[in-house]
């Protein structure tokens, strides 16, 4: 979390290999033996969903099959993984749809499906709550709908409100969802990154 311009997206792009860091060393002990640093193998275990979903061509289902096959998932396993993720994310009836035929929310679901279909070891999402919100918009309970509307507000403005007025109802809902989603939290206030277990220590 952090306000606009503090480097959240830049940090994530460095982690996934889209940008090179100006100093320091990146280590991925959970992905590969640190003594055998192989960036190609590391990058092929990371899925990244940026803030702005890239436009794709062709049918949704064909894109999922392609995403799986370029990561070595072929034949029946490819079919099974694609079918599973289509059903799991509520995309089955849109399997033969194209980019301009689905809403922004379903484009986000597709991005998640494309990332999950090949079972990456590390999933990196820029604007995590935006992704969660889009997927959860299928709920009908009034309380959940209110939560979705709150989370749809610009996350950066809510982070600023959390610092200025941590007791407001919208901020409480936003921070509660953050704590439910993550085992640890980080706040960037350039040039410092603070990691904590709970929200209270970051405000």
**For 8-25, how does the pLDDT look when each residue is reduced to its tens digit (9 = 90+)?**
888 888 888 888 888 888
Residues 132 and 69 in one domain: yes
pLDDT of residue 153: 45
The DSSP code for 192 is: E
CA 108 to chain centre: 9
Residues 96 and 167 in one domain: no
Residues 30 and 113 in one domain: yes
What backbone phi and psi angles, to 5 degrees, belong to 98? -110, 170
| pLDDT average, residue stretch 66-70 | 96
Each residue's pLDDT tens digit, 139-198: 334 344 343 333 444 455 555 555 555 556 665 666 666 666 666 767 777 666 665 555
Residues 107 and 129 in one domain: yes
pLDDT of residue 145: 37
Domain count, the chain: 2
Residue 197 in any domain: the answer is: no
| pLDDT average, residue stretch 71-95 | 94
Cβ-contact 118, 47 below 8 angstroms = yes
Residues 18 and 93 in one domain: yes
Residue 123 in any domain: the answer is: yes
Name the more confident of 29 and 129: 29
Residues 35 and 78 in one domain: yes
- 128: domain range? 6-146
Q: What CA–CA distances, in Å, run from 183 to 82, 129, 145, 160, 179?
A: 29, 15, 25, 22, 7
Cβ-contact 118, 67 below 8 angstroms = yes
């Amino acid at each position: 979390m952090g306000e606009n311009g503090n480097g959240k997206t830049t940090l994530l792009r460095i982690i996934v290999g889209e940008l090179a860091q100006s100093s320091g060393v990146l280590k991925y002990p959970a992905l590969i033996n640190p003594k055998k640093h192989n960036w190609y193998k590391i990058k092929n275990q990371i899925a990244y969903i940026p803030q702005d979903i890239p436009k794709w061509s062709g049918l949704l289902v064909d894109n999922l099959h392609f995403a799986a096959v370029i990561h070595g998932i072929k034949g029946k396993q490819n079919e099974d993984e694609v079918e599973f993720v289509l059903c799991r994310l509520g995309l089955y009836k849109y399997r033969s749809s194209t980019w301009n035929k689905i809403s922004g929310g379903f484009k986000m679901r597709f991005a998640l499906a494309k990332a999950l279909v090949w079972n990456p070891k590390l999933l990196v999402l820029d604007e995590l709550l935006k992704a969660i919100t889009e997927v959860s918009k299928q709920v009908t309970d009034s309380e959940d709908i209110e939560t979705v509307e709150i989370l749809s507000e610009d996350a950066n403005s809510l982070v600023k409100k959390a610092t200025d007025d941590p007791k407001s109802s919208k901020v409480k809902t936003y921070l509660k969802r953050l704590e439910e989603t993550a085992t640890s939290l980080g706040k960037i206030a350039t040039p410092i990154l603070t990691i904590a277990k709970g929200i209270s220590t970051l405000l």
